[in-house]
């Protein structure tokens, strides 16, 4: 993690970000490193790229991969989702400038809904008999059509 932090601190200021995929990747890494204001700033660029014609190229069409990157900012960045060997893992937070976010994940025949609002995250198993996953380092076993909620950890840069 320290090597990743050193690399980010060196490369981010000198990166031109002239690729439409750059903001989403930098947002995810910023979240992982605890640089939450950078994470939201890059997410905002990614999510508004075509709406605001940030790259001055929208007249040639929309940037589909960037749209997927915006979703990844939420899922892999803000929600901290990682797929570890045989296990989903989450370490979510709510950026100061968002009121909430939610998404569904299909994983090994199960469908999990993740909702983050206020200072709470909720996981609901929409499909499947049972799902094992990690929430902020704690193992969770969720049964079909059940919801489990946790308080979000306080985070600061």
What is the per-residue pLDDT for 18?
85
DSSP state at residue 22: H
Residue 10, classed as helix, strand or coil, is helix
pTM: 0.92
Domain with CATH 2.60.420.10 in the chain: 80-152
pLDDT of 12 reads 95
Residue 86 CB coordination number (10 Å)? 7
Q: What is the largest CA-CA distance in the chain?
A: 49
> Do residues 14 and 5 touch, judged by C-beta distance below 8 A?
no
**DSSP per-residue string spanning 27-93:** HHHHHHHT-HHHHHHHHHHHHHTTTTTTTS-GGG---HHHHHHHHHIIIIIIS--EEETTEEEE---
CATH number for domain 80-152, candidates 3.40.50.300, 2.60.420.10, 2.60.40.640, 2.60.40.10: 2.60.420.10
Six-digit token pair at 118? 């206020």
- What confidence tens digit (pLDDT) does each residue in 40-54 have? 999 999 998 888 877
pLDDT > 70? residue 156: no
Question: Which tokens go with 53?
Answer: 């014609």
Tell me: pLDDT of 90 over 90. yes
Tokens coding 120: 């709470």
Look up residue 98 and give its two tokens: 């968002």
pLDDT tens digits, 31-84? 999 999 999 999 999 998 888 877 878 888 888 888 999 999 999 999 999 998
Range 105-133 average pLDDT: 96
pLDDT over 90 percentage in the chain? 77
């Amino acid at each position: 993690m320290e090597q990743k932090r050193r690399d980010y601190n060196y490369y981010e200021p000198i990166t031109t970000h002239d690729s439409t995929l750059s903001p989403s990747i930098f947002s995810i890494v910023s979240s992982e490193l605890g640089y939450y204001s950078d994470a939201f700033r890059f997410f905002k660029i990614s999510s508004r790229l075509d709406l605001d014609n940030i790259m001055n190229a929208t007249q040639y069409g929309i940037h589909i991969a960037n749209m997927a990157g915006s979703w990844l900012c939420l899922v892999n960045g803000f929600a901290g989702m990682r797929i570890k060997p045989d296990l989903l893992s989450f370490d979510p937070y709510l950026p100061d400038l968002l009121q909430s976010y939610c998404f569904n994940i299909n994983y090994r025949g199960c469908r999990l809904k993740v909702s983050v609002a206020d200072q709470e995250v909720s996981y609901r198993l929409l499909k499947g008999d049972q799902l094992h996953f990690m929430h902020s380092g704690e193992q969770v076993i969720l049964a079909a059509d059940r919801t489990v909620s946790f308080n979000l950890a306080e985070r600061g840069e």
